[in-house]
Structure 1
Amino acid sequence: MSDTIDGEPAELAPDAATPPPRESETATFGLGCFWGPDARFGAMDGVVRTRVGYAGGTTPSPTYRDLGDHTEVVQVEYDPAVLSYADLLDVFWANHDPRASSRTRQYRNVILVDTVAHRQAAERTRRAVASKLGGSVGTVIEDLASFTLAEPYHQKYELRSTPVLGDELVEHYGDDFVDSTVAARLNGFVAGHGDPDRRESFLAGLELPPRVLDEVRRRI
């Protein structure tokens, strides 16, 4: 993929190298407001792309203003040759209080599964967490029936909230912005996630305008 941003090269190699959907797997989690987990998972090596949306309910065509009985979720597409579902589950359990039942359906903690293997892995970790805590776990595991993509302004929210960076990359990618590995990674970086050395290595592989890279580094 080759393009320019304000006349400068923009060869975003990590996007060109990401595996196609047929070679990746998908995990879906509810962890409160979806902006935070979108950034946290997006910073992980092996994550191909992230999307936020609505799932877990029956209301047709949910929107942010008319969510019905759905939950805010993040959908994580990952390369199983680099990152395992178990790794993602570790992050999920480490980033909420599993002892507490969710007070609202919109922001509940839930694992939504679409394969037998993922359900078995999720239930296994849930039992392990319950055993470690010595009590019941409020976090639920459900089958994923459908996923509705959230409105564009919710996608990569941390990155969009960084004017120089978000505006440049949204313009560059257009409709492909939400599915960009680079956007997912930078969204996590500007939120403070990711190993510092790996962040710098990733940034060094991007031929972006200096002002864009400077803004990323300033934010992290």
Structure 2
Amino acid sequence: MSDHAGTRQTDLAPDDAAPPSSATDTATFGLGCFWGPDARFGAMEGVVRTRVGYAGGTTPEPTYHELGDHTEVVQVEYDPSVTSYADLLEVFWSTHDPRAASRTPQYRNVILVDTVAHRQAAERTRQEVASRIGGAVETPVEDLDAFHLAEPYHQKYELRSTPVVGDELVDRYGDDLVDSTVAARLNGFAAGHGDPERRESVLAELDLPPAVLDEVRRRI
């Protein structure tokens, strides 16, 4: 994890104390089915919110069953005083084979950028990966034109699929589950991501019923 200057949030602040979107940066990645990367990034320290959706295509108002030429993507809101875009890119490149061309638009690997700084960083790491593997990188860097939020049942899928835990969090947050820092972190933990000691430290701080916390620990 990079060392960043500035005021540092706690690893998992309560949702009402989490940085607002105006104080975060956003990254957008396609990494195959969006359930997995949603969980992987959600477990990272400094990630404030995650959401899954569709981007990269031209089909208006895409849905899961009428996706058209769009790609399943995850958007990651992160606190730049805690983690960096470079940290996220490191995870992105380490979790797929950049030499493999995507077979379908839906599950392709892609970095979608909406700032000059992010494009420069993404292109730089793409060149570094090409140098490391000694060959062509098939994973593209493209402009993000629009992001379309996926249906609620796709948001925090690992968490929703965990008995007791999913029910408790859905009841507690309702439609706001997608923007919950706690839900993002637990979604990652439920999928087995995160350092064991850090996971336990985070779980110990949460004001959740013991049965819910025990189920997360059992799932891990």
TM-score by length of 2: 0.94
Counterpart mapping for 1:203-214 below 5 A: 203-214=203-214
Counterpart mapping for 1:108-147 below 5 A: 108-147=108-147
CA distance in 2, matches of 1:93, 1:112: 14
**Residue 49 of structure 2: aligned partner:** 49
Residue 138 of structure 1: SS of its match in structure 2?
coil
Contact 2:152 2:175 in 1 (8 A): no
CA distance in 1, matches of 2:13, 2:120: 36
How far is the alpha carbon of 1:175 from its aligned partner? 1.6
Counterpart mapping for 1:186-197 below 5 A: 186-197=186-197
**Residue 30 of structure 2: aligned partner:** 30
Residue 128 of structure 1: SS of its match in structure 2?
helix
**Residue 89 of structure 1: aligned partner:** 89
**Residue 171 of structure 2: aligned partner:** 171
Per-residue CA distance 1:86-116 (angstroms, 9 max, x = gap):
0000000000000011011100000000000
Contact 1:130 1:136 in 2 (8 A): yes
Contact 2:163 2:215 in 1 (8 A): no
How far is the alpha carbon of 1:130 from its aligned partner? 0.2
Q: Aligned partner of 1:21: which letter? A: S
How far is the alpha carbon of 1:14 from its aligned partner? 2.6
Which one is further off, 113-122 or 204-213? 204-213
CA distance in 2, matches of 1:13, 1:55: 30
- Structure 2 portions without partners, runs of 5+: 1-11
2:201 is the counterpart of 1:201: yes
- Structure 1 portions without partners, runs of 5+: 1-11
CA distance in 1, matches of 2:44, 2:83: 9
Hey, which bits of structure 1, 4+ residues long, moved more than 2 A? none
Q: Aligned partner of 1:74: which letter? A: V
How far is the alpha carbon of 1:57 from its aligned partner? 0.3
Q: Aligned partner of 2:20: which letter? A: P
CA distance in 2, matches of 1:178, 1:144: 20
Residue 164 of structure 2: SS of its match in structure 1?
helix
Percent of pairs identical after alignment?
81
Per-residue CA distance 1:13-47 (angstroms, 9 max, x = gap):
53122101110000000000000000000000000
Contact 2:30 2:109 in 1 (8 A): yes
2:77 is the counterpart of 1:77: yes
Per-residue CA distance 1:140-192 (angstroms, 9 max, x = gap):
00000000000000000000001200011001001211100000000000100
Contact 1:13 1:206 in 2 (8 A): no
CA distance in 2, matches of 1:207, 1:150: 28
Q: Aligned partner of 1:170: which letter? A: V
CA RMSD for the aligned pairs?
Answer: 0.9
Residue 163 of structure 1: SS of its match in structure 2?
coil
Contact 1:13 1:205 in 2 (8 A): no
**Residue 107 of structure 2: aligned partner:** 107
**Residue 17 of structure 2: aligned partner:** 17
CA distance in 1, matches of 2:162, 2:216: 9
TM-score by length of 1: 0.94
CA distance in 2, matches of 1:162, 1:140: 34
**Residue 4 of structure 2: aligned partner:** none
2:154 is the counterpart of 1:154: yes
Per-residue CA distance 1:62-104 (angstroms, 9 max, x = gap):
0000000000000000000000000000000000000011011
